[in-house]
Chains A and B, each alone.
Chain A
């Protein structure tokens, strides 16, 4: 009896395990089944009036970085509400993860080919790696219906091999945010327009016991927000873009010169020494609390800076070498993007939904001051904060964009680059060391 019970139990366990296994219905049987349904429906039609066919419910899932503390969160909530209301046939679920953790999560999901239907990504090499591995659905067909609202020039960072793979949301550039109250204390009523003026302003701030710049050393991308405009305004946008694209070499005496300027800033005490161990949120908070005179970072910060208790302004980083660089050459461009997973069972529906969501997100992010529009603006914008308006004016005068270095480069190269940038901020190497190291390791 015991044996029989034991065997039955074992059989139940084995059956249980088998039942837990994934069963993939063969595509032929599915199509057969649906064909049968169609046939039976058409038979019914001939005998009695057909009932109104209920719209088939489709589930779509999205991952993004708009956590509740993210400045884009309110825009996401409004945009999703608007687009899902227009599509009752879609059961839409979304999940937000903090920026750095998200990069890990999305890469792991891509490696396992388990991406959600729609996912937030960055243009350039970040999305390029996924496209190369055939993880992303091509949006060329879906784009046709939205081409009038989304200029093709905005798709450059998400176009690979002539095909479009991403829906850009907003455009951001690096801006020099200033605390005008602090600047007024050293005799500046506007943001310095030339490099000499900027240095003079910083010297006066240091002499007055103030800290000119705040920069997080714990998050190296923040250091690139200082170094890249410096490089661009010394060697020119075209040359910097070529270096990032590996079409030109880092072995350039002007880069040594630019890094030399950056090291001068450190030596003269322009940076908060505490910044080396602080994260970007802490540094930004220090700036908003009035600890620093300047904070050079992405223009997605416009709304937060505009809401600070001091008079604020934003400007473009001044030109250093006017023979190679000029005003209007900016670091940034449309990078924040939504993409559709190639593995999505509803990729076609997801593609159209993504364009609609992208358009709505662009609209609300722009109105909230957390980014400039990548899509055409055909609505009133009376309440946009003055800093976002100022950035829009800067971008209207722009004549060249160079995508953020760590986004433009492939993952491995970007980490090597960030490693050297971190060493420069910590004064571990000098300009020649930076150039020699990057030339050896990247080219």
Chain B
């Protein structure tokens, strides 16, 4: 009898929990899951932005094949560019952020001021950052060209099309992206570094450990979960990057700086191809999940 009563109580608790979770769950399904399924459904159709879904325009997985085989859709190049940005983020941006976090986390004069300065680009609107860098890169009066002239690195009068030359446009577009988020990752890691026990540091110092050894054997292993989050953000953020590229080059010149999102907008909005645009959206979601899982697994294996 007592057992049945306890079971009834558990069932009732379960129902209560379910009822409380229901609104959130409905929101999650409605805002996140349903659009993904809808996008997948659209991706199986050859349809315009203004067309309704119909059996007539169902083409199965042809959009996915076309994405990698059609010469007129620069998706493979865009994907490679994104992966390159992801690699640069992981191997240049994050080590830089980690270095700054370790330096500031150790405690130094003007720590707060440095933190604010490094974090400032994150607070400024990306459109403003884009406009700022457009001025820096301007071939006629841009700060960069003028500085190179002044330092005699570039012969005076010689102009460089930082964003107009397809050989260097990609690198030029990536620099502001990497620069903007150094402060963001630095702040995440800085919080972790500050959380490392002072006792541990002091014990290591008593044992004669140098700053480098303390960072290597104590601080970095302690903030590994934060580094993992930063790596996931950096990689998925690279795959999703759009705003700065849009302002700086809009994917040009001659598709040299295309990223998957610019190709998606081109297909979806400019060409009205809802089917192909949705295919790219689904590919992006799949790739983001895939990389997040790979990074998770890599860190787990290391643990």
Contacts of A6 in B (CB 8 A): 16, 19-20
Contacts A273-B159, A415-B270, A416-B72 hold; do A217 and B164 have CB atoms under 8 A apart?
Answer: yes
Q: Is the CB of B269 within 8 A of A108?
A: yes
Task: State the CA gap A111–B271 with chains docked (Å).
Answer: 13
Q: Is the CB of A426 within 8 A of B271?
A: no
Known: A133-B50, A411-B272. A217 touches B253 (CB 8 A): yes
Residues of A within 8 A of B140 (CB): 274, 286
Bound together, the chains give a CA A224 to CA B19 distance in angstroms of: 60
| B22 contacts partner chain A, Cβ-Cβ < 8 Å | yes
The verdict on B51 contacting chain A, using a C-beta distance below 8 Å, is yes
Does B295 reach chain A (CB closer than 8 Å)? no
Question: Given known contacts A3-B12, A274-B164, A276-B161, is B20 in contact with A103 (CB within 8 Å)?
Answer: no
Find residues 4-25 in chain A having any chain B CB closer than 8 Å to their own CB. Answer: 6-7, 9-10, 13-14, 17
B269 touches A103 (CB 8 A): yes
Q: Are A14 and B22 neighbours in the complex by a CB distance under 8 Å?
A: yes
Query: Does B296 count as interface, using CB distance less than 8 angstroms?
Result: no
List A contacts of B163 (CB < 8 A).
Answer: 277
Choose one: A218, A277, A411, A412; the contact of B139 (CB below 8 Å).
Answer: A277
**Cα separation A7 to B269 with both chains bound (whole Å):** 46
Given A129-B272, A412-B273: A277 touches B162 (CB 8 Å cut-off): yes
The CA of A108 and the CA of B270, in the complex, are separated in Å by: 11
Considering only CB atoms, which chain B residue lies closest to A111 in the complex? B49
Q: For the complex, is B191 an interface residue (Cβ under 8 Å from A)?
A: no
Kindly provide the distance from the CB of B19 to the nearest chain A CB, expressed in whole angstroms: 4
A104 to B246, CA, bound (A): 13
B253 and A276 form a contact (CB under 8 A): yes
Nearest opposing residue in chain B for A10, CB measure: B19
Contacts of B159 in A (CB 8 A): 273-274
Residues from chain A with Cβ under 8 Å of B250 in the complex: 218
Could you tell me which residues of chain A, from 413 to 443, have a CB within 8 Å of some CB in chain B?
Answer: 415-416, 419, 422-423, 426, 428, 441
Which A residues lie within 8 Å of B48 (CB)?
129, 133
Cα A410 to Cα B49 in complex, Å, equals: 13
Q: Which residues of A contact B12 (CB under 8 A)?
A: 3
A276 to chain B, nearest CB (A): 4
**B206 to nearest A CB, angstroms?**
53
CB < 8 Å neighbour of A412 from B16, B19, B252, B272 = B272
Q: Which residues of B contact A416 (CB under 8 A)?
A: 72
A3 to B19 alpha-carbon distance, docked (Å): 12
A233 at the interface (CB under 8 A from B): no
Contact partner, A426, options B50, B254, B273, Cβ 8 Å: B254
Is the Cβ of A107 less than 8 Å from the Cβ of B23?
no
Inter-subunit contact B22/A107 (CB<8 Å): no
> How many residue pairs bridge A and B at CB < 8 Å?
97
In the complex, the answer to whether B252 meets A441 with C-beta atoms within 8 Å is no
A242 at the interface (CB under 8 A from B): no
Chain B contacts for A286, CB-based, 8 A:
140
CB-CB nearest in chain A for B26:
A17
User: In the complex, what's the smallest C-beta–C-beta distance from A12 to chain B, in angstroms?
Assistant: 10
Residues of the B chain whose Cβ atoms lie less than 8 Å from the Cβ of A273: 139, 159, 161, 164
Q: Are A10 and B16 in contact (CB under 8 A)?
A: yes
Q: How far is the CA of A423 from the CA of B256 in the complex (A)?
A: 12
* Interface assignment of B249: CB less than 8 Å from any CB of chain A: yes
* Cβ of B266 under 8 Å from chain A: yes
Chain A residues with Cβ below 8 Å from B254 are 422-423, 426, 428
Task: Tell which of B50, B137, B138, B162 touches A110, judged by Cβ atoms closer than 8 Å.
Answer: B50
Q: B171 to nearest A CB, angstroms?
A: 14
Out of A7, A129, A217, name the residue touching B252 (CB < 8 Å). A217
B50 and A111 contact, CB distance less than 8 A: yes
Q: Residue-by-residue, is B253-285 near A (CB-CB < 8 Å gives 1, otherwise 0)?
A: 110000000000110011111100000000000
Decide yes or no whether A130 CB sits under 8 A from chain B: yes
Q: A135 interface residue, CB < 8 Å from B?
A: yes
User: Considering only CB atoms, which chain A residue lies closest to B52 in the complex?
Assistant: A133
Which residues of A lie under 8 Å from residue B265 when comparing CB positions?
104
* Residues in chain B near residue A217, CB distance under 8 A: 164, 252-253
Instruction: Enumerate chain A residues within 8 angstroms of B20, measured Cβ to Cβ.
Output: 6, 9-10, 13
For A311, what are the chain B residues with a Cβ–Cβ distance below 8 Å? none
CB–CB A277/B22 < 8 A? no
Residue ranges of A at the interface with B (Cβ–Cβ < 8 Å): 3, 6-7, 9-10, 13-14, 17, 103-104, 107-108, 110-111, 129-130, 132-133, 135, 217-218, 273-274, 276-278, 282, 286, 410-412, 415-416, 419, 422-423, 426, 428, 441
12 contacts between A and B (CB under 8 A): A3-B16, A7-B19, A13-B22, A13-B23, A111-B49, A135-B50, A277-B169, A415-B266, A415-B271, A422-B253, A426-B253, A441-B72
Q: Known pairs A110-B49, A274-B161, A415-B270. 8 more at Cβ < 8 A? A: A133-B50, A133-B51, A273-B164, A274-B138, A277-B139, A415-B271, A422-B253, A422-B254
